[in-house]
Structure 1
Amino acid sequence: MKPKGRVLSILGVLCLLMSLVGACGDNPTATPGATTSAVATTVATATTAPASTTVAASATTASGTATTAAAATTATNAGGGNSEAVLTMICGLSSTWLRNFNPFTVTARIPTLYGIYEPMMIYNTVKGELVPWLADKYTLSADSKTLTFTLHDGVKWSDGQTFTANDVVYTFNLLKNTAGLAGTALTAMRGNDAYVESVTAPDAKTVVFNFKQPFSPAIYDIAAQIIVPEHIWKDVTDPVKFTNENPVATGPFTQVSTFQAQTYQIDRNPNYWQPGKPAFKGIRCPAFSAADQANLELAAGKIDWAANGIPNVENVYVSKNPATNGYWFPTTGGIVTLDLNTTKKPFDDPNVRKAISMGINRQQITSVAVYGYVKPADVTGIADGFPQLKVADPATLGDWTNFNTAKANQLLDAAGLKKGSDGIRTMPDGSKMQFKINVAATFAIHVSAAQIIVQNLKAIGIDATLAQADAATWRDRLQKGNFELSMDFPSATNFYAAYRTMMSAATTAPIGSDALGGNYGRYVSQKGEQLLKDFSATADPAKQKDLARQIQQVFADEAPLIPLYPSPVWYEYNSSRFDGFPSKDNPYVVGSFGQIAGSAEPLIVLTNLKPKG
């Protein structure tokens, strides 16, 4: 069946940056954004959310004229099946579970995000389309200063109360007025660069966002924000510390039927607004302390859906049962990086940052640590997910992502960092260049990559060691700036958001405070800030393309952080119990979960899946 309407096809900015989860744990919350047309744009959408349907896409041209684009891939589902079936997922890596379903924490994961709670719209990264969800359509004014959403009719909260525009207004004002909350709309609502002036509800089905200045990327900051019920959260004393043990939400799975330290289960929402969905009883999340342990369970056929990095996946997983075991690792995801704390010397020197980068053998990392699934990163700092905006030949911008120990040593010598008799360089204050690399011990691929970096840096006079920690400690060090070097995997929904995350004051914080926007290295580019501002103020594709080139040049000139390799979008499935998983042959949506900052694509999968027999 076809939906009664259309979804927007984004022409100016398409794909999404992604980050690791199965091999790398939980996703840090980042902030997305996007571009829209410069004139008033109305997106008509389905009266029911598209799930197992063929979605007719609509494109908006620079002149604002809606045109029909190619239809999206149909998600194939089997009918019937066991409605009491339970889907077993690897929901993240943790030795034990803590009962906390607060969607505003930086550690929130699936199913809290995009299983229990839902956004107004979902960005389909495969199709480059906005999919209607809690909202049926949006309109951006001609001056890019007003964004209006029309909500879907008939949506209820899981406790039976009606979902209204007041809930949306409340959610965004909660972000605005409460320090310490995380969300895709955080930078839109809070901080020096917040651009939303007001959020109002003219009626129960309409939400209006008025901006302080034109801001064309706003749709993804705002559309992706999950919505919470005002009638529950208005009585919460401390939204930051609220554990929300029995969530009330609009998502397909909301009922906590079992919760133990080693496993928990969330059952279907009795008042879910999509008729006949979900088609199965619930989601089960067993606890795994490390990726290797989770991979063993996956290979044993005990897991239905995972997002794990698996070495030699054909032999380790697929060969166990080729008829049912599948995977799909697109390489249009985010970039795995080595962050440098630029508030500390010598990392405040761009030539030192470039030298360290040139001392790293990315080919060795991608071949050994990442199993040959990806290629080395380039000096743009982004993957290949932005073909309209990424420069055709990154080598024209710089060469500091090439492995060149001789040139790296020359740069460090020129910076006055001389080698001692022990081969280790000394800084001007007399201290040796001995640094620790912050890395999560459970992130097996990151640990392997960091070990290679340690060996590589010896050749340029840097004595690095690993500072392994659990995922929560690793993340806390990053956010507070309590590190020298750190493995990281920034993600964003589009070109603008990617660079805002890497080099804008809007996404960082002073040392000791949480940089919830993702700029953990604390690098702020003055040139980059102005170019990002100019980029967000226009929706003209030609102007954006020129500004995008300049932004990439600034990144290449200043080297805010060290890109290592594009992150594969890890995803495995076992179709012995469920039908409807996306695949290489049926890529209707990205199959991974928990690793795409700001993307609720798992909701599309969950509402597509149907149990067998």
Structure 2
Amino acid sequence: MLKTQVVAFAFAALGAFGFTAALATEYPESAFWQEEVSAGNLPPVAERVPTVPKVVDLTLRNRDVGQQGGTLRTMVTRSKDVRQMVVYGYARLIGYNERYELVPDILEAFENEDDKKFTMHLRPGHKWSDGHPFTSEDFRYWWEDVANNELLSPSGPVDFLRVEGELPKVSFPDAQTVIYEWSKPNPQFLQMLAEARPPFIYRPAHQLKPYHADYTDEETLSDLLYEARVRSWAALHNRLDNMYKFDNPDLATLQPWMLATKDGKSRFLFVRNPFYHRVDTNGVQLPYIDVVEMQVVAPGLVAAKANAGEVDLQARGLDFKDAAILKKGEATGNYETKLWANGTASQIAIYPNLNYHDDMWRETLRDVRFRRALSLAINRKIINRGLYFGLAKEGGMTVLPISPFYKEENRKAWAVRDVAQANALLDEMGLDQRDKDGYRLLPDGRPVWVVVETAGERQEVENALQIIIDNWAELGVKLIMRPLERDILRNRVYSGESMMSTWFGWDNGLPQTYTSPGYLAPWDQAFQSWPMWGQYHQTHGEVGEAPDMDAAIELNDLAHEWTRAFSAVERGAIWQKMVDIHADNVFAIGLLNGAPQPVVVSNRLRNVPEKAIWAWSPGAHFGVHRPDEFFFVE
């Protein structure tokens, strides 16, 4: 029944296409789609894969050639996290391989001329999940009719396509070729296409044009708006154009699995994309796994359900503290708990909000001596022993040793416990007066009570802060912990209402010379120490505040220099300067990094790496390890 329903929405448009059976014997048909092929609802697999598919030689990476079939169970803690299937699926125009090299994936090939001109070659015969051809028209539609339409994109094209304000010249010579060209280098272009959250510089034009005012008459659009209860065509188009959210089963995709659940709440099913572009050396179309079942559970239940054997693959929602109970459940749960390295720059980081709306507190938080003092007072050894059995690496927030920009002195900078020095720094600031309870006083007489807000999702954060409460009390600083829901926390940070907050450190702790250093510059509101500066950059000055601290201005200038640099040596030197500035200024107070990430893997699941890196960027968590190559054995 499920397959019949899926085919009904996925292949409604197939009647307009003609199919030939010339290559049908070269690729084995999947049992999952065989019934639909036999019924004539779906063409044979030889006509579904591109003329030039992406052929994966698993033996080159010591992986087994697999078999199709099975349902993989996993969990998320919010229904909106169905978007993790885009992250894990990791079908990208260009993606990272297991050595973190950029290679073509959806693209058949690409050419890079001095980081100024990028020519992308699409795979002939590649199709969207509904069977419609994937061509340069999908790129043209996004560029001309979405990204450069003021109603659909008020801020214009995404920021990584601007080089010192210059937008690219984009051309479409033929159905399989797309060219992006600038007068100056854009070294981040390829890397951004490989991100965990891809920019999607293409759209299923055939599906979205009927909702665009340039392609549909006003009367028809009015009927569509009435039916959808939406006021404008732009609002309706944007609601449907949700490729990253991945919550619309009617929207075509290029990912290995497509959503098959409409209006889901607690359980979502994703079925194999019959037009997926990758095959193994035996001609078997990937993904190997037929169905992914994603269950939505409360955050506190992820480890318990994994322990009970209710998942086949799980890392999200698990912390190192769960490793012991997960190990105990292996025998009865029929799974193994692997411990992967962690790619974030800091497992836990505290972010002083330099854009906090309180003038006196803003001035205090911006004084580097205050941030250094708070960092110096933290007993990272106790946190490491108590939370990670001493297995993490203590230190401030900086890049990891695998990066060429790692320096041991940056890891230790203002991060080796020294309460005497911390107290001296606060006295030097003029915070030498105390109230009757021993807490320091601000110049306006208020006590130095620091409110640190958390997302309330990770027990390890609350446990670490409990230790830091005592550490900061030794300085005469009171820490008040305030758990919030994640979206509320972010909104408070972005609006300047949050004094301090906690989150992971930089997602990408493994940068190379080709990695954009934009996340070290005041370019993104998501860096919780400078949301207003990030907003200013992201909206080209329309919202937020311009950076007005010397170190932040220097980071901004260096990031711009990186985009103009012509050599890897120049870019590496810029990267090192930016990493050094962060270590010295303690914009975010890192606690430790390298805490192992538990990964629960069913004993029936194959091709999951024994040792790997769990990282959002680069790598898209499971994505870089290619879950479309995982398979079940009985």
Amino acid at match of 1:353: R
Q: What is the deviation of 1:111?
A: 1.1
| 1:146-545 pair list within 5 angstroms | 146-171=117-142, 174=146, 186-189=158-161, 196-211=167-182, 213-224=184-195, 225-227=198-200, 228-234=203-209, 235=211, 237-238=234-235, 241-242=239-240, 244-246=247-249, 247-257=251-261, 260-275=264-279, 276-290=285-299, 292-307=300-315, 308-311=317-320, 315-321=324-330, 324-335=335-346, 336-343=348-355, 344-378=362-396, 381-386=398-403, 388-391=404-407, 393-394=409-410, 399-418=413-432, 419-489=434-504, 490-492=506-508, 494=511, 499-505=517-523, 510=532, 525-545=552-572
SS in 2 for 1:346: helix
Q: 1:602 aligns with which of 623, 626, 630?
A: 623
Q: What is the TM-score with the length of structure 1 in the denominator?
A: 0.75
Match of 1:35 in 2: none
> Is the CA contact 2:413–2:584 (under 8 Å) kept in the aligned structure 1?
no
Indicate conservation of the 8 Å contact 1:268/1:282, yes or no.
yes
Query: Which residue type is aligned with residue 75 of structure 1?
Result: R
Native 8 Å contact 2:95 2:103 kept in 1: yes
Query: Offset at 1:326?
Result: 3.0
Q: Secondary structure at the match of 2:385?
A: helix
> 2:372–2:414: 8 Å Cα contact kept in structure 1?
yes
Contact 1:327–1:583 (8 Å) recurs in 2: yes
Decide whether the 8 Å contact of 2:452 with 2:499 is kept in 1.
Answer: yes
Is 1:87 aligned with 2:96?
Answer: no
Q: 1:213 deviation in Å?
A: 2.6
Question: 3-state DSSP class of the match of 1:383?
Answer: coil
Counterpart residue number, 2:107: 135
Greater percentage in helix? 2
Structure 2 gaps of 5+ residues are 1-50, 212-232, 280-284, 356-361
Deviation (angstroms), 1:368? 2.0
Q: 1:348 to 1:141 in 2, by over 3 A?
A: same
Cα drift, residue 251 of structure 1 = 0.9
Give distance in 2, aligned partners of 1:515 and 1:486.
Answer: 21
Superimposed CA distance per residue, residues 562-590 of structure 1 (whole angstroms, 9 cap, x where no aligned partner): 22222546351323332221212xx5xx4
Q: Report the 3-state secondary structure (helix = DSSP H, G, I; strand = E; otherwise coil) of the residue aligned with 1:328.
A: strand
1:539-579 residue CA offsets vs partner (Å, 9 max, x unmatched): 53333333333223322332222222225463513233322
- Matches of 2:633 and 2:458, distance apart in 1: 33
Change (3 A) 1:120 1:400: same
Amino acid at match of 1:337: A
Q: Is the 8 A contact 2:522 2:537 kept in 1?
A: no
Percent identical: 19
Determine the C-alpha separation between the residues in 2 that align with 1:365 and 1:206: 53
Residue of structure 2 equivalent to 1:109: 83
Give, in whole Å, the separation in 1 of the partners of 2:350 and 2:307: 31
Instruction: Note if contact 2:95-2:193 (Cα within 8 Å) is conserved in structure 1.
Output: no
Alpha carbons 2:524, 2:534 under 8 Å: kept: no
The Cα of 1:424 is off from its aligned counterpart by 1.3
Is the 8 Å Cα contact of residues 390 and 548 (structure 1) preserved in structure 2? no
> Are the equivalent residues in 2 in contact too, given 1:332–1:384 (CA < 8 A)?
no
Q: Distance in 2 between matches of 1:52 and 1:471?
A: 41
Distance 2:522 2:261 in 1: 43
SS at match of 2:363: coil
Give the aligned residue type for 1:611: F
Give secondary structure in 2 for the equivalent of 1:573. strand
Cα RMSD of the aligned pairs, angstroms, is 3.5
1:325 aligns to what SS in structure 2?
Answer: strand
Distance 2:99 2:558 in 1: 28
Match of 1:29 in 2: none
Report if the CA contact (8 A) 1:424-1:462 is conserved: yes
Question: Do the aligned partners of 1:119 and 1:226 also contact (CA within 8 Å) in 2?
Answer: no
Letter in 2 for 1:120: L
Q: Cα–Cα, structure 1 residues 498 and 402, in superposed 2: closer, same or farther, change >3 Å?
A: farther
For residues 9-20 of structure 1, what are the structure 2 equivalents within 5 Å?
Answer: none
Assess if the C-alpha contact under 8 Å between 1:187 and 1:506 holds in 2. Answer: no
- Confirm or deny that 1:583 pairs with 2:615: no
CA contact (8 A) 1:176 1:189 kept: no
Q: Would you say how many aligned residue pairs link Structure 1 and Structure 2?
A: 520
